[in-house]
Structure 1
């Protein structure tokens, strides 16, 4: 016959399942073992106590019978039952408490899922008798978990246990760590509920299931941290505390979805400047969906695509001005320095180099050097200064002005010379005239004619 009774007692390591024996008689004649229920369910991490009692004949073959050994086992080696106290899987976690040679208690602490097995009691006597209680007690150690079934309007939570239905366990639910009134197998909540939920076997409230909740504390980390250099390998990691585990999706700015072989990771084997930008991830499980903050990836690289130009373009004429411009693609931004070929000292700094009042000696090769923390590049430009029409016209105008300024001086000089000459010639002529007139009256007309012709000759001289 069989019978069983169960009561719960508290132990320092957790709730204890205490099995009080009601006779379950197995064996022949007076050899008997008494077990409780054939199945027991206990939570992972808790402590269980299994009691048994046994009976044997007091006299065997005319001699008093005495029990010499008692122990519990789950497996045998070479058909010899292995005492749990010597089983490495139970080392330090089992204890026997056998009293009055008729009651023996097995205590197992810190239950593990691997402890799920059939436990049997065995005893031997001084008359060579050996007896094992068959069948034993089946222990099911459950690691509770909350299963989630989500629809568009609500989410159903189910407290899952590996215990068999015959045990008919009762459950207790917790919301954000606080006990709820419901003691049912399942619980319904609204879709995208932000609260956390867990469950426990009634009577084992200290051993709750891990809580379930939508992804929270969603973060994106970058490795290596610090400056990211062109060509290096970079890994982005998306992590959250979601339970059940979340599914991750990666995006780049403007919600462009990115493919990833490892959803929680996004890997650049040789990152390029074109891959700079904002990245973020989403985590989603049956309880809801979350989006991480954006992380900016800034790829640093040395100056490239360096070019130099001159403005205005075309023929560079002497006396004009030009701007030499240097440009490049660089991150961080480059600093620019200008040099002239065969000259050691720089001519200027900055992206634009201005030269005014060009002369032939300004002709030559100029080169620009672009430099940042990642490297440097340079590019050369040839500058040729020519004499243009405007310069010739300026020279002609200058010469014309000089000539025009000299003409009045020449005229003034000649006029002064004429005046002086006329002044010197007028006095002797007057004297001669008077003498001729006085001595030769007949020549008066001829002298007058000579005088009238003299001014014309002088005009010709001018």
Structure 2
């Protein structure tokens, strides 16, 4: 039964081939009407039908004589034309034309199954807050992999457009998947212009004259901003990359507004803070020993000096009330 089916296919194929050959056109030889001795004459071989455009055909003029300057034309009504140098010995020679047909199948690509492989996927991405952004990871493989990037169960398709927000910063896992899956970590940094949150003053206002004071500027920005202050008051020490200014032995000359300036490549922001100096002089009432005013010690420990002044003020008020 199996052999019978095989022979049926073979016979059917032979019949189809024979049918094709029976329908193939026969090429024709075309000569010039007048062939003169010792002159050139043209000999052409022509395929008289254009119905075989799906077949590749090669035409050839067959003769024992030497042909030259042969020119071929392919396509509809294919032909070939050559030149023959005529001599008297050529009288009665035979010329024929052969057509060689070639057929071929439609081309098919051989696709081999291959696992995914990242071809273009940056390890680090920098986005600007508020701007349109996307992941750019590309991968190859067969079938063509799908690529996604994920963080905290939020999945983004490659080249999907979205607006970058600062909370999108962090490490993502990018996956390329066909019949297999590969992963790659991608770190995202979302940058934004500065925002000054506050200026922290220690001790709090008002500050006693002669005490030490620090002003620290607290700002949020990516990349980290640079800090500066205005005005540039004398006897001021800059700390923490200019985030903090320290003033020792505050005087009335230090009173006024201090402006913190935070800047990165995306913008600049400012915030001001007023310094108020308490210049009230407290004199001892009945017991001078209660009022501690050691200038040398005041340089080293401003907190004890301030406490002593307040204590002396309270005692003085009590004694004045008593004598009145």
Give the TM-score taking structure 1 as reference length.
Answer: 0.41
Distance in 1, Cα, partners of 2:290 & 2:164: 68
RMSD between aligned alpha carbons? 4.4
Q: Which residue of 2 aligns with 1:246?
A: 145
Structure 1 contact 215–241 (Cα < 8 Å) conserved: yes
1:214 — aligned with what? Answer: 115
Q: Does 1:322 align with 2:213?
A: yes
Correspondences of 1:366-381 after superposition (within 5 Å): 366-381=258-273
1:85-131 deviation per Cα after TM superposition (whole angstroms, max 9, x unaligned): xxxxx6xx8324589989854225xx6xxxxxxxxxxxxxxxxxxxx
Contact persistence 1:308–1:326 (CA under 8 A): yes
Equivalent position SS for 2:283: helix
* CA gap 1:55/1:386 in 2 versus in 1, 3 angstroms: closer
Structure 1 residue 327: deviation in Å? 1.1
* Structure 1 position 234 matched with structure 2 position 133: yes
| Contact 1:338–1:348, Cα closer than 8 Å, also in 2 | no
Distance in 2, Cα, partners of 1:271 & 1:318: 49
Equivalences for 1:131-150 in 2 at 5 Å?
A: 141=106, 143=108
| Structure 1 residue 352: Cα displacement | 1.0
Relative to structure 1, the CA distance from residue 380 to residue 69 in structure 2 (aligned partners, 3 Å threshold; closer, same or farther) is: closer
- 1:105-120 equivalences under 5 Å are 105-108=100-103
Secondary structure of the residue that 1:392 maps to in structure 2? Answer: coil
Report SS of the residue matched to 2:114.
Answer: coil
* The one of 56, 62, 83 aligned to 1:94: 56
**Distance (Å, rounded) in 2 between the aligned partners of 1:247 and 1:54:** 50
Following TM superposition, by how much is the alpha carbon of 1:318 offset from its aligned partner in structure 2, in angstroms? 1.7
In 1: Cα distance, 2:256 partner to 2:182 partner: 63
User: Secondary structure, in 3 states, of the residue corresponding to 1:211?
Assistant: coil
Report if the CA contact (8 A) 1:303-1:370 is conserved: yes
Which digits, 9 at most, give the CA deviation of each residue in 1:127-167, with x for residues without a partner? Answer: xxxxxxxxxxxxx63625xxxxxxxxxxxxxxxxxxxxxxx
Secondary structure of the residue aligned to 2:288 is helix
Please say if residues 227 and 261 of structure 2, whose CA atoms lie closer than 8 Å, have aligned partners that are also in contact.
yes
* Unmatched runs of 5 consecutive residues or more in structure 2: 1-7, 27-45, 63-95, 293-324
CA contact (8 A) 2:236 2:246 kept: no
1:329-348 alignment to 2 at 5 Å?
329-340=220-231
Which whole-Å CA distance do the structure 1 matches of 2:138 and 2:291 have between them?
87
Which residue in the other structure is 2:202 paired with? Answer: 311
Q: Residues 241 and 54 from structure 1, CA distance in 2 versus in 1: closer, same or farther, beyond 3 angstroms? A: closer
- Looking at structure 2, the residues matched to 310 and 236 of structure 1 have their Cα atoms a distance apart, in angstroms, of 43
**Is structure 2 residue 154 aligned with structure 1 residue 257?**
yes
C-alpha displacement at 1:54, in angstroms? 6.9
* CA distance 1:238–1:335, shift in 2 (3 Å): closer
**Is the contact made by 2:284 and 2:291 (CA closer than 8 Å) also made in structure 1?**
no
Secondary structure of the residue that 2:121 maps to in structure 1?
Answer: strand
**Residue 25 of structure 2 contacts residue 49 of structure 2 at CA under 8 Å; is this kept in 1?**
no
In the alignment, is the contact (CA less than 8 A) between 2:170 and 2:187 conserved in 1? yes
Task: Report if aligned partners of 1:218, 1:283 keep a CA contact under 8 Å in 2.
Answer: no
Maintained 8 Å contact 2:134/2:158: no
**CA offset at residue 246 of structure 1?**
1.8
Change (3 A) 1:298 1:334: same
Deviation at 1:310, TM superposition (A): 0.5
Structure 1 residue 358: Cα displacement = 1.8
| 8 A Cα contact 1:326 1:351, kept in partner | yes
Q: Structure 2 CA distance, aligned partners of 1:375 and 1:55?
A: 81
Match of 1:274 among 167, 190, 203: 167
CA positional deviation for 1:354: 1.0
* Larger relative contact order (Cα-Cα within 8 Å, sequence gap ≥ 6): 2
State the partner residue of 1:436.
none
From 350, 354, 370, give the equivalent of 2:246: 354
Partner of 1:36: 17
